[in-house]
Amino acid sequence: MSERFDPSVADGRWQRIWDERQTFRADDGSAKPRSYVLEMFPYPSGRIHIGHVRNYTMGDVIARAKKMQGHEVLHPMGWDAFGMPAENAAMEKGVHPGGWTRDNIANMKAQLKRLGFALDWSRELATCEPEYYGHEQALFLDLYAAGLVYRKESAVNWDPVDMTVLANEQVIDGRGWRSGALVEKRKLNQWFLKITQFADDLLEGLDGLENWPEKVRTMQANWIGKSQGLQFAFELSNGESLEVYTTRPDTIFGASFVAVAADHPIAQGVAMNNCEAARFIDLCKQGGTTAAELETAEKLGFDTGIGAKHPFTGKHLPVYIANFVLMDYGTGAVMAVPGHDQRDFEFATKYELPILRVVAANAEEADKPFAGEAEAGDGVLVNSGFLDGMTVNAAKAEVIRRAEAGGWGQGKTVWRLRDWGVSRQRYWGTPIPFIHCEVCGVVPVPKKDLPVTLPEDVDFKTPGNPLLRHPTWKHVDCPQCGKPAQRETDTLDTFVDSSWYFLRFASQPADKPFDAEAIRKWLPVEQYIGGIEHAILHLLYARFWTRVLAHIGLIDVKEPFASLFTQGMVTHETYSRVDPANGQPVYFSPAEIDRGGDSAVLRADGQPVEIGRVIKMSKSKKNVVDPDDIIAQYGADAVRWFMLSDSPPERDLPWSEAGIEGCARFVQRLWRLFGQYDASATGEDKAVDRKTHQTVHAIGQDIASLGFNKAVARIYELTGVIEKAAPSASRSAAIRSLLLLCAPMMPHLAEEAWAGIGGEGLVADAAWPSVDPALLVEDEVTIAVQVLGKLRDTITVAKGLPKEEVEALALASEKVQRALDGKAVKKVIVVPDRLVNLVA
């Protein structure tokens, strides 16, 4: 073996060999136990970032270790390739979304290969290719046939300049994120999936996901939002009735007004005869539609002049049109209790409406004033007539009982979850496979005509959906009556693409989305890894799709991911200077900085820059590290090792130059140690044998539990033990075991060293080191020997040795005798297997 390990040569060589031999190709016909390891597939933005590297390194270690432990491993990779960024590139750069996306895929694939990931590239897929989305269209038609897809009019954010629907996240301060135009609320016909039909099942299923983070399960449960409440109707002063739903019927005596959505029939009726009401409704259309936006927006209202009769007190409450109420939620009207709901509190404060306390910690605090905000409402009922003194739950039950007995309301379970609107007015997405015929109505595209592919000749110079204005693509004959008709020009939400890709990875027949038998063999995914930002939507939709496909008989798996891990982010400090022209900070990348001690300077001019906080890497702050640069400088294995070191994988990992340099040094240290392997060595070293077997056993457990930083620490520890040991057969066996333990984490180094010591075949195909259970039991202990409380020596003795023998060995120590210096020992304290203290 050479003096130094050269990653610039070794990395590429072993990557080519793995490719040529298809080392990581999963065998569907294998009789081995199966392990499906999957990381959330990336969007092809053009470059992988350091967060990708951490995510995929973790999955790669698990996949490689499972393979060495005798499993048939499926570890695939693909691309979540549809979406707005490609259309934005088309508009800004004049390129086609397909070309831009496929170029990015090629770049990112090359980057991933440079890291040596054990991926089955034979199963690579991209959601933008017809051979993927054609099967998605077929599944969508299956759901339609099962009554799980429907079309209805729904409120959307409409950009009047770009002439497109915007996601809520694309509405910033009420304006379109690209055009800057005031966004309008419009009603459009949209396609929906009936996820609410599975709400109970999705909620109950969370209890069985024991290997998911508790935080993720809680987030999903809250998103589904099952609650028991009261639905009832107010009698209105204009002779009509107004139905509302509340999850807090116990607070009914605290109601001080009623609010309706701008598009509620009551509001529309008022606007017909009131210009000011009409103008206010137009103003409401410019607001956001997410719960988060409604929470933060200024609360605005219009008094309709109508009163709502309180069912218990008979008092008339004013009815307002309010911008924080949405027609799509509940009944589109709310009973407002300002004392115990923050949105109601802000509204009541603005319009000087009563704010009543009806829940307090105890009866003595019935008249306690509010401290500038609503209170959650935990405790006992006060100022509430017959409810006074009751607990919240008892009061809820009593109000519901009286409402049902009086015939003016009923208890009802409701869900926060709404049906999933999947229509997007965009080009770069899966075409929704339906045809609109004036005679036959909405007609599904026959499966024989799938895939419905996107036209290539599209124009992005004009704002709006290119499919809508394409001269020929949308024009088609009706498949039922043969008369001229039009294709659906909406495309599917890209979350649909990522809701079943894990099934297509497991089975890829040409004539159908997947084979049920293959799915049964591979699913559920044994280990799924990805960011916490996908805790709700992606994971909920994937669980929903898996259930739906089981519901219609295509598969027999309900939960897609048996175990979920959400990794922390990679972080970095920022470097900046204030621009004297505008007083704003100008940021610099780590590559532009020379860092020394507590200071940093800009390499270009040698002048100081301010070192900022360690935060998530972001392009805007320029605190990003390019994986290609660090791989070129330090090699793939040093980068991989850094990703696994120090921080627990669920926590953020601060990037540091010193850290990656230390990892590179350790790679060389291991290389030197592997070079000391001597197959002809003789002699036994029981301590080295025991430490080796204990380390093998512990690292196997660490990897299984994703405790990568613990495994790294054990490898450092075993390395130190081997380095200090005298040459022996035990030492060489330990070096060989250490090499195998490093293989999932530093595969290029391990392959190079494995070849160097004469290992058979590839280390990627080698077996995990075996463990002798007898060597896992400690039969010796190291005992500290103190004289007058000061450590003077340590002795190694048999575990459980009687006190008298331990005392005799301690007194026999030369170091102890020198410390005693002839003094008589008055007392000996022996703590079994731990400590001897001599008092002289």
The domains of the chain are located at 30-134+495-566, 149-193, 226-415, 571-665, 677-776, 780-839
Superfamily of domain 677-776: Isoleucyl-tRNA Synthetase; Domain 1 (1.10.730.10)
Residues 260 and 322: beta-carbon distance below 8 Å: yes
Which of these ranges, 275-289, 305-319, 787-801, has the smallest mean pLDDT?
275-289
Location of structure tokens 């809701």: 499
Do 571-665 and 677-776 share a fold?
Answer: no
Q: At what angle do helices 627-634 and 97-114 cross, to 10 degrees?
A: 30
Q: What is the CATH number of domain 571-665?
A: 2.20.28.290
Q: What is the CATH number of domain 226-415?
A: 3.90.740.10
In 10 A of CB 285, how many CB atoms?
17
> What proportion of the chain, given as a percentage, has pLDDT over 90?
78
Hey, what CATH topology would domain 30-134+495-566 get? Rossmann fold (3.40.50)
For range 543-555, the mean pLDDT: 98
Longest pairwise C-alpha distance within the chain = 115
What's the confidence (pLDDT) of residue 75? 98
Residues 137 and 430: beta-carbon distance below 8 Å: yes
Residues 79 and 105: beta-carbon distance below 8 Å: yes
Global confidence as pTM? 0.83
215 token code pair: 């935080």
Which DSSP state fits 743? T
pLDDT exceeds cutoff 90 at 706: yes
pLDDT band at 619 (very low <50, low <70, confident <90, very high): confident
pLDDT band at 624 (very low <50, low <70, confident <90, very high): confident
pLDDT band at 327 (very low <50, low <70, confident <90, very high): confident
List of E strands, 704-833 = 780-787, 790-798, 827-831
Q: What is the CATH number of domain 780-839?
A: 3.10.20.590
C-alpha–C-alpha distance, residues 668 and 741, integer Å = 16
pLDDT tens digits, residue range 441-456? Answer: 999 999 999 999 999 9
CA 497 distance to own-chain centroid: 16
pLDDT band at 294 (very low <50, low <70, confident <90, very high): low
What's the confidence (pLDDT) of residue 292? 53
